């Protein structure tokens, strides 16, 4: 079955250098490979959702800069319908420079400031939600995210939060969230550990919570029940975007499976994505799909 997903959040131009090791201070190091993709949490999730055979709509801000045109075309090639609502169309898109250590798959990321980026108000147009099966938000463009979440709730569309890191004003979004899938770096105000994060989210009405921890088991909370789901043991080549891919895969599986199964299947896809370079290669390997 083909599902229709809508994703609202950040889009970047990712320029990825693959090196045998991280460079030292003041060192020049020749890369072994260079890739470039559209990136960002919601964007990579939208690509993953489309890669699993669905239709993806992405609400984001990109603009008319040549770099923006490039990533719009790249996303179209992967089956993502981009709705560009930037309020600053002449500004360059958000750029991210990424270095991946080929010896272990670890990466370093430097990116341009996202704080001043805004979307037009009509990015929350209710018609964008017509015939959609699921909504995913990454916490960026908070004003529009809250408006879209409010409308999705009235339409009984399940809402997934990618909690990569805490964003200012995010507490306004939490009452609309059905599934909060957070990284180990997600710390709301006055939360210093995992248990505090879970309590905080539960106090805001979220009953289904997952915390991903890299290669360690995923902590999964369903109301009062807490469990851990093991992560597939793989030799990582590139961990870039694995969390984003997890979210996109979860949006696919939760529309056909129960909660725990969906987390486990999403973790499998995310792990397999780490065994190849870049955030797209796993899609081209049919056995992963």
Mapped onto helix, strand or coil, the DSSP state of residue 38 is strand
> Binning pLDDT at 50, 70 and 90, where does residue 274 land?
very high
pLDDT the model gives residue 288: 45
10 Å Cβ neighbour count for 226?
Answer: 12
Any residues with CB less than 8 A from the CB of 248 and at least 6 apart, and which? 7, 44, 45, 46, 47, 48, 49, 51, 52, 136
Partners of 50 in the beta sheet? none
What tens digit of pLDDT does each residue of 190-221 get? Answer: 999 999 999 999 999 999 999 999 999 999 99
208 forms beta bridges with 179, 222
Neighbouring-strand partners of residue 227 = 220
In contact, 39 and 278? CB cutoff 8 Å: no
Q: What is the pLDDT of residue 59?
A: 97
214-268: pLDDT as tens digits: 999 999 999 999 999 999 999 888 888 999 999 999 999 999 999 999 999 999 9
Q: What percent of the chain has pLDDT over 90?
A: 85
Q: Which of 262, 271, 279, 169 is nearest to 222 (CA)?
A: 262
Strand order in the sheet with 179-183: 80-84, 55-60, 4-8, 134-137, 159-163, 179-183, 208-213, 216-222, 225-229
| pLDDT for residue 236 | 87
Give me the pLDDT at residue 181, please.
Answer: 98
CA distance 83 to 149: 17
Structure tokens at 232: 């597939």
The pLDDT tens digits of the residues spanning 24-57 come to 999 999 999 999 999 999 999 999 999 999 999 9
Position 75 scores a pLDDT of 97
- Residue 287: the pLDDT is 47
Q: Work out the average pLDDT over 136-145.
A: 96
Domain 4-9+41-91+116-288 has CATH 3.30.1340.30: no
Q: Render pLDDT for 69-109 as a digit per residue (tens, 0 to 9).
A: 999 999 999 999 999 999 999 999 999 999 999 988 888 99
Q: In which band, very low, low, confident or very high, does the pLDDT at 114 lie, cut at 50, 70 and 90?
A: confident
**Residue 289 pLDDT:** 46
């Amino acid at each position: 079955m083909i599902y229709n997903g809508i994703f609202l959040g950040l889009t970047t131009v990712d320029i990825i250098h693959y090196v045998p090791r991280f460079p030292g201070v003041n060192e020049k190091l020749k890369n072994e490979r260079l890739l470039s993709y559209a990136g960002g949490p919601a964007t990579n999730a939208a690509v993953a959702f489309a890669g699993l055979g669905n239709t993806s709509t992405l609400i984001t801000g990109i603009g008319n800069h040549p770099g923006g045109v490039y990533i719009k075309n790249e996303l179209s090639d992967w089956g993502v319908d981009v709705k560009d609502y930037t309020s600053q169309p002449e500004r360059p898109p958000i750029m991210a420079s990424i270095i991946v250590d080929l010896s272990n798959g670890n990466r370093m990321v430097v990116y341009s400031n996202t704080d001043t980026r805004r979307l037009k108000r009509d990015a929350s147009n209710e018609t964008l939600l017509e015939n959609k099966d699921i909504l995913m938000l990454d916490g960026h463009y908070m004003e529009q995210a809250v408006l879209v979440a409010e409308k999705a709730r009235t339409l009984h569309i399940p809402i997934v939060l990618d909690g990569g890191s805490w964003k200012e004003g995010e507490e306004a979004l939490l009452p609309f969230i059905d599934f909060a899938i957070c990284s180990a770096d997600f710390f709301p105000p006055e939360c210093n550990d995992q248990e505090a994060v879970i309590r905080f989210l539960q106090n805001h009405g979220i009953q289904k919570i997952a915390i991903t921890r890299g290669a360690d088991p995923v902590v999964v909370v369903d109301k009062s029940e807490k469990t851990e789901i093991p992560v597939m043991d793989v030799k990582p080549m590139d961990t870039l975007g694995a969390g984003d891919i997890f979210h996109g895969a979860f949006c696919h599986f939760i529309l056909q499976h129960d909660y725990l199964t969906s987390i486990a299947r999403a973790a499998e896809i995310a792990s397999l994505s780490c065994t190849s370079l870049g955030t797209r290669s796993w899609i081209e390997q049919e056995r992963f799909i």
